[in-house]
Amino acid sequence: MSYHGRVALSGSQLRVWLVPENDGPSALANATLRVRLSADLADRQRLADGCARAGLREVVCETGPLPLHGRGRHVGLALELREPAAEVVVRVDTWWNGGATDRNRANNEHVVLALDTGDAYAF
């Protein structure tokens, strides 16, 4: 699995948009992606359907079905940080994939530095 998307930080709000992709070798009925932050999340979050908080700095989201060499559902998160940050490191990876084998594990984890500019940083 791989992920393509962007992140943007503005004050205490971090936006994450991404699309999971399945590069094979077979289709997946579902998988779970994880978004980890270098800053604490605020206590209350309004998360997208299929997403749940997994810790002080983590959110997990289901991908839905992933066809062979295809894309899963688009995931959009508007996360509130506990306090404004000048920068946040965002890590996106696969938390669960049902035991599927991935021939290219190099594209499984993405790390993005988002600066408090409101600009979108792509990965």
More confident residue, 98 or 109: 109
Evaluate if residue 107 carries a pLDDT over 80. Answer: no
Which sign does the torsion angle of CA 21, 24, 29, 35 carry?
Answer: negative
pLDDT (tens digit per residue) in 62-82: 999 999 999 999 999 999 999
Domains belonging to the chain, first-starting first, are: 2-122 (2.60.40.10)
- The answer to whether 64 and 71 are in contact (CB under 8 A) is no
- Tell if the pTM clears 0.95, that is, is over it: no
Partnered with residue 58 across adjacent β-strands are 36
| Per-residue b or e along 73-91, where b marks 16 or more CB atoms closer than 10 Å to that residue's CB | bebebebebeeebeebebe
> Cα separation of 123 and 113, whole Å?
10
> Cα separation of 4 and 107, whole Å?
10
Parallel, antiparallel or unpaired: strands 110-115 and 87-96: antiparallel
